[in-house]
Structures are given as C-alpha cells and as structure tokens.
Structure 1
C-alpha cells in the first residue's frame, strides 16, 4: 500500500491537476486536467433553471484503503441557503467551495466510493449518494434527445462520465 506522500507523488507525475491540496488524509485535485493537459470542465448548468453543479475530485488514504471522493456543489439563484467554508464539517473541509461563479453554493455533497469499485458499483454509488438527493431533483428535468429520438438525462450522464473518467485516471496513475 502506498503512503500518502507516495500517492501524492504518483498523482503529480500523472499531471492530473494543476495543484494537489492535502487535508489530513485527503488529496484534493485542484484545477484538474483532461488527459491532453487542458483544463477540465468541472461545471454543468441546467439550461432552464440556471441550477449549476460544480465537481471536485479527491483521494482519501485510510486504513490501508483508497477511497475516491467527489465534492459536489449545487448553486442556484435562491439566496436563502448559501453556505460558506465555515459551515462544512469533517472531510467536507477538504474541498474549497469558494467558486467564482454566479453565487455561493447552496448545497454540498460528498460522494465516497472505493477507488477500485467497478463501473456498475460506482454508478450505483452516484445514484444512492447524489442523484437521489431531493435538492438535486432538477437533474431529472435536464434532458436532451439523442439521435434515436430518446430523451436522456444529460446532466446526470455528464457528471457520471466525468467522474468515472477521473477515477480511472487516478487508478491508472497508481500502476
């Protein structure tokens, strides 16, 4: 099993992010990159409601186990429930929520899974820990039509695909 420092070195050599921030046993990928080294688009916005999702990715090193974490912010135009870094608890504090977009986040979620979970286990984790949250029900209305004329949940698909790709890139960097 890799030490936390060795894990960080592997991630840095793989050029997965512009900076890797350490918070206790968590390594958060700040300014993540695509495989070709360009900036990764970690934001997705609903066309009709202006609800926006921001994603951050991290690896947690605990008890001889590596976990993949996704910090998810949800922002919208409702100013009644803005959160700040001071309101985060536990491992949530590893994620920097001061995004310079429309407004401060309204909700924050952490998705946690084994780094080596297979794609089906990972998607199940996303469904249970994120997509089933009542605050994110707007994701069900974010649909597009595919070439075969079928509606598909494009925001959910984007979040799942981007997150799975980053998880696989992290796994690959450790080989």
Structure 2
C-alpha cells in the first residue's frame, strides 16, 4: 500500500510518539531502524532466541524502508535484520560483510560475538499475516545456513510438535509489523 504525503521525518515522528524503540536510527534518507525495540508496556521487546540444544542464536532488528515513486507517493517496506551466531570461533564474518541497506542494521550485527550470517527480509508493510509468513519462509527459513531452526522442536500443551524458534521469529515479526502499522495511522 502506498501512503501519500509521508516523509521520513513524519514517519520517524509517529514511530517516536508510539514509543516503539529506545532510539530510531535513520540510515541515509530512506530507512528507519528500531534500536532497542520496546514492547507495548515499554519493556525491552524480545528479539533474541537461542536453540535449547546448541549455541545457535538468532537476533532480530526491525525497520522500515521508504521508496519514492513520484513526488508524493511512498512505498513502505517492513524490514527484519536477522543475525545468526554461535560460539564456533573458527569462523566469523566481519562488519564489512554488510552491503548497501544491510549496513543500517550494524548495531544489531555488531552486538554478536562470532556472527556467522546476516539476512535482511523485506516485505510490504501492509502485507497480511499469511503474506508475512510466506516471505519469512522464503527469505529466512529456507536458508540452508539456518537449518538448525528445524530441530528446535517442543511439544505444546495440546501435545502437538511445534518448531518453536520459527514460531517465535514469526510472532515477534508480526507483532512489530502491526505496531508499526498502528503507529502510522
């Protein structure tokens, strides 16, 4: 969905007013990244998850990218920066690995010891929950380097096996996407 007459300054102001993060970082003139994301109660928003049988961790950071199609209409994209790390000291990628718009996520990325991979998900801000899940599956969960997510299985109270790390990532992404949408209306 396109939004007429929105500028990066007005969007940042609305996100600040909604108290979605301790700080909102503006990257160039087209991206806003939530630093120290907050939940609705004002506490730290859970954006890290660790596999219970390994040292594999995922960290998430959320943001928006604005694309101007003409003088008045912007396309808003919901972004998720995903960093995978573990304690294997034999391999680590450096901050120089981040290219282009990925560099907006450098604070999340630099936080990690021994980062292994970084992915940036992009989808329309006004995508449905089914569309968001599809994009997460295609852009994140299908990455061979994240196969460990398929082994993070727990039994829910109904006795069903659930891939809990994937569920956590999707639920946190959906929650933040909806909160950003509300802040902009």
TM class, shorter-chain normalised?
A: over 0.9
Aligned alpha-carbon RMSD (Å): 1.0
* 2:78 alignment partner in structure 1: 68
Q: Structure 2 length as normaliser, TM-score?
A: 0.91
Question: Which of 15, 20, 23 is residue 16 of structure 1 equivalent to?
Answer: 20
* 2:31 alignment partner in structure 1: 26
User: Where do 1:1-175 residues align within 5 Å?
Assistant: 1=4, 2-24=6-28, 25-63=30-68, 64-96=74-106, 97-99=109-111, 101=112, 103-175=113-185
Cα-to-partner distance string for 1:70-105 (whole Å, 9 max, x where unaligned): 000000122343122222101100002111x5x231
Q: How many residues align?
A: 173
Moved over 6 A (4+): none
Contact 2:151 2:163 in 1 (8 A): yes
Q: Structure 1 length as normaliser, TM-score?
A: 0.96
In 2, the alpha carbon distance for the partners of 1:31 and 1:87 equals 23
Unaligned runs of 5+ in 2: 69-73
In 1, the alpha carbon distance for the partners of 2:44 and 2:180 equals 16
Contact 1:98 1:104 in 2 (8 A): no
Local SS of the residue matching 1:27: strand
**Per-residue deviation, 1:153:** 0.5
Local SS of the residue matching 1:30: strand
Unaligned runs of 5+ in 1: none
In 2, the alpha carbon distance for the partners of 1:172 and 1:41 equals 19
**Per-residue deviation, 1:131:** 0.2
In 2, the alpha carbon distance for the partners of 1:171 and 1:62 equals 17
In 1, the alpha carbon distance for the partners of 2:18 and 2:158 equals 38
